[in-house]
Amino acid sequence: MSATRRRRAAYPGPVPDLTAPTDLPDLPDLLADAHVVALPMRVRFRGVDVREAVLLRGPHGWAEWAPFQEYADRDAARWLAAAVELGWGELPEPVRGQVGVNATVPAVPAGQVEGVLGRYDRCRTVKVKVAERGQTLGDDLERVIEVRRVLGADGRIRVDANGAWSVDEAREALSVLASVGLEYAEQPCATVEELVVLRLALARASVDLPIAADESIRRAEDPLRVAREGAADLVVVKVAPLGGVRRALEIVAEAGLPAVVSSALDTSVGIAGGVRLAAALPELDHDCGLGTAALLADDVVGEPLMPRAGSLTTVRADAARCAVDPALLAAHAAPAERVTWWRQRLARTYALL
């Protein structure tokens, strides 16, 4: 690889830039060792049946660049900055060796819940997808009730609506779902304004349920607005959409709210970056959404980064960054037209850094 150009990563939006520079490889070097894969999902998740990702190899290990296809290049640039940090930069030192992880239940029929949870080893917390298009509140309630049955009375359940509800729909749905016992509701409404109104409405209805912000953090021009306007009780942070581990740490510190680290439907390589973020947070009171390798039917590493006894370790995460299997890269290589699409997207996005 040719010499890297020392350059500061440019982060879109009004949030301050990183204080430390990042080694940005030359574009030809990135393209020379870029592998585009298409991984089948076990169950359709956020509209995705096949997860496409680009694996990049840096001097510190493999990195992943996989912004969702509908995202603009400006959004994808943050994902690329995160990948460069993981493969070429220096990561903060961990303050804990293990990170608690939640299981994830997609918007499946209640009869499939037990099978989904069976792929997770002793996770004490479960995130349940709700508000799926074409489904009803009754479907959501049946799914959450079945999770409670399988998990037991002491388990923690959180629901995620991905911003699909209006304020009135969220108030009604959460008033019903809260009866099963919820840890919190993640992004029940799409906008910061709606979240503020919803929190007040739930309080007036005597529904004691914390609200977590996800899309209002990772896709926002101003990710700190949620905290300033009192729109949430927790923040959900993801390494790739926020521009890297260090950038995410800064946002959590400035927000001053409890944080939950989650993945972005990553391969084990991407999840490893999330583990390093969770391990570096000064405080971590909630299990993290980093068990999503279970949603993939296959991975790019021989031993996917799955929780053991409900936890992931930084040791396994660091190993995953260096353990990409060439045979799996070849087996799941994306079709030629998709490789061209991703390489062209990488070139456009690189120009924004």
Catalytic site residue from 51, 78, 127, 129 = 129
Residue type, 335: P
Determine if residue 318 is labeled as part of a ligand binding site.
no
Identify the H or E element spanning 139.
Answer: helix 137-151
Instruction: Look up 127 and say whether it is catalytic.
Output: no
Distance CA 290, CA 281 (A): 15
Determine if residue 214 is labeled as part of a ligand binding site.
yes
Q: Which two tokens stand for residue 289?
A: 């959404």
Q: Which two tokens stand for residue 176?
A: 């019903």
Picking from 204, 201, 266, the residue whose alpha carbon sits closest to that of residue 41 is 266
Task: Give Cβ neighbours of residue 327 (< 8 Å, ≥ 6 apart).
Answer: none
Catalytic site residue from 57, 238, 247, 276 = 238
> What is the torsion angle, in degrees rounded to the nearest 10, for the CA atoms of residue 42, residue 46, residue 50 and residue 54?
-120
Residue type, 348: R
Determine if residue 229 is labeled as part of a ligand binding site.
no
Q: Which two tokens stand for residue 42?
A: 């076990």
Q: Which two tokens stand for residue 194?
A: 């709606």
Task: Give Cβ neighbours of residue 48 (< 8 Å, ≥ 6 apart).
Answer: 41, 68, 265
Q: Where are the beta strands (DSSP E) in 170-327?
A: 184-186, 211-213, 234-237, 259-261, 311-313
Picking from 329, 238, 271, the residue whose alpha carbon sits closest to that of residue 35 is 329
Distance CA 141, CA 173 (A): 9
Distance CA 104, CA 262 (A): 11
Range 177-202 burial, b when 16+ CB lie within 10 A, else e = bbebebbbbbbbbbebebbbbbbebb
Task: Kindly tell me the burial class for residue 239, based on how many C-beta atoms sit within 10 Å of its own C-beta (0-12, 13-18, 19 or more).
Answer: buried
In the annotated binding site, the residues are 160, 186, 214
Q: Which residues contribute to the annotated binding site for Mg(2+)?
A: 160, 186, 214
Question: Which sequence positions are flagged as catalytic?
Answer: 129, 238
